[in-house]
Chains A and B, each alone.
Chain A
Amino acid sequence: MKKANDHGKPDAGHGTVQHSGQKYGMVIDLDKCTGCGTCMVACAAENNVAVRADQTDKERTITWMNLYKITNGKKFPHTEVSYFPRPCMHCDHHPPCVSVCVATATKLDFNTGIVSQIYTRCIGCRYCQAACPYGARYFNWWDVFPQDKGMDRYLTPEVSPRMRGVVEKCTFCHHRLMRAKRQAYAEDRRELEEGEYITACTEACPAEAITFGDLNNSKHKVSQLIKHPYAFRLLERLGTEPKVYYLSSRDWVRRLADNFLPGEYEPVVNRTWAEDEWSTKPGRDRF
């Protein structure tokens, strides 16, 4: 049945507001993250990310979920290390990449909060890559197809592989949302349960550091976690309004999530990991 073009807006572009819809977001607990990289691998496997034989050129590899290693910069014995998984932030309201795309190949869907990428529309001008401060967008510099017979069977059937010349990025495993909605529809439901739609990285993380859900739904864990005093976002000052939140009890980690002039940063907790093993204290997740 042909739907009218609602331009992805909850009010169907007519100015009459209906219910606000979902706003899918993610909370990554950096105190739990061990830096194992399973999220990176799960993401690449789930989303048919092109992998070249030689991946050493980090400027041109495609890592929708990218793991950074950060350190507090102090010398032994005060050195602390943390790992920082960085998917696409799916910025809200006015994503820096959406407004600059020339061919409308990327859109913010106001009903789900997901910033989509349409590979068949993308002309590969890379303006969105220039605009994104997180480096979350990746360009296909090569054509990478499974070379050997039968190797294409490892591809996820619901995710289209990309040819060279187009930009791609984390989609919050949008195909899994489609799968969950189809399942719910078949079971005569219109609402998705929490956990019915989660991203591959959320599912794969062995430390359960990633939580995914609807930020607008007060019953979902993510909507509670983002109110935690330890919650912060990456480059919040720029006004991108990311939907990916981080939790850390360590102030030096929080300091590295944004730029601060001297005296601007206000500590939430003035303790280091070595000084106080905060996360093993009972009642840590209750606030």
Chain B
Amino acid sequence: MTPISFEWQWNIEYAVFFGLLYVALGLIGGGITFVAIRTALQVFGFMRERDFHD
């Protein structure tokens, strides 16, 4: 699953599959991190709470 795994091969198939997977995981993780940081900043008063439109 990672480049340090026994089965890992540096070829185009692994690159495409795990590349796309890590991009997707990165977006999810990045989004959660962004929200967590922003919420923390708003809770502790460093950032203004924005008007929420549904």
User: Do A and B touch directly, given a CB cutoff of 8 Å in the complex?
Assistant: yes
Binding site for B on A (CB under 8 A): 5, 7, 13, 104
The 6 sampled A-B contact pairs (Cβ below 8 Å) are A5-B6, A5-B7, A7-B7, A7-B9, A13-B9, A104-B7
Binding site for A on B (CB under 8 A): 6-7, 9
Instruction: Tell me if B's interface is mostly helix, strand, loop or mixed.
Output: loop
Q: How far is the CA of A104 from the CA of B6 in the complex (A)?
A: 12
Q: How far is the CA of A7 from the CA of B7 in the complex (A)?
A: 8
Q: How far is the CA of A39 from the CA of B9 in the complex (A)?
A: 40
CB distance from B12 to the nearest CB of A (A): 13
CB distance from A10 to the nearest CB of B (A): 16
Q: How far is the CA of A13 from the CA of B6 in the complex (A)?
A: 14
- By a CB distance below 8 angstroms, the chain B residues around A13 are 9
- Chain A residue with minimal CB distance to B6? A5
- By a CB distance below 8 angstroms, the chain A residues around B6 are 5
Q: How far is the CA of A211 from the CA of B15 in the complex (A)?
A: 44
Considering the complex of A and B, which 3 residue pairs feature the smallest CB-CB distances, nearest first?
Answer: A104-B7, A5-B6, A13-B9
CB distance from A150 to the nearest CB of B (A): 39
CB distance from B1 to the nearest CB of A (A): 11
- By a CB distance below 8 angstroms, the chain A residues around B7 are 5, 7, 104
- By a CB distance below 8 angstroms, the chain A residues around B9 are 7, 13
- Chain A residue with minimal CB distance to B11? A13
Q: How far is the CA of A104 from the CA of B1 in the complex (A)?
A: 12
- By a CB distance below 8 angstroms, the chain B residues around A7 are 7, 9
- Chain B residue with minimal CB distance to A104? B7
- Chain A residue with minimal CB distance to B7? A104
Q: How far is the CA of A186 from the CA of B9 in the complex (A)?
A: 34
Q: How far is the CA of A208 from the CA of B6 in the complex (A)?
A: 43
Q: How far is the CA of A5 from the CA of B9 in the complex (A)?
A: 10
Q: How far is the CA of A104 from the CA of B8 in the complex (A)?
A: 12
Q: How far is the CA of A66 from the CA of B9 in the complex (A)?
A: 37
CB distance from A120 to the nearest CB of B (A): 14
- By a CB distance below 8 angstroms, the chain B residues around A104 are 7
Q: How far is the CA of A7 from the CA of B6 in the complex (A)?
A: 10
- Chain B residue with minimal CB distance to A7? B9
Q: How far is the CA of A65 from the CA of B9 in the complex (A)?
A: 35
CB distance from B13 to the nearest CB of A (A): 12
- Chain A residue with minimal CB distance to B8? A5
Q: How far is the CA of A216 from the CA of B7 in the complex (A)?
A: 28
Q: How far is the CA of A41 from the CA of B29 in the complex (A)?
A: 56
CB distance from A157 to the nearest CB of B (A): 27
Q: How far is the CA of A193 from the CA of B20 in the complex (A)?
A: 49
CB distance from A244 to the nearest CB of B (A): 29
Q: How far is the CA of A104 from the CA of B7 in the complex (A)?
A: 9
CB distance from B2 to the nearest CB of A (A): 15
CB distance from A12 to the nearest CB of B (A): 12
Q: How far is the CA of A224 from the CA of B25 in the complex (A)?
A: 55
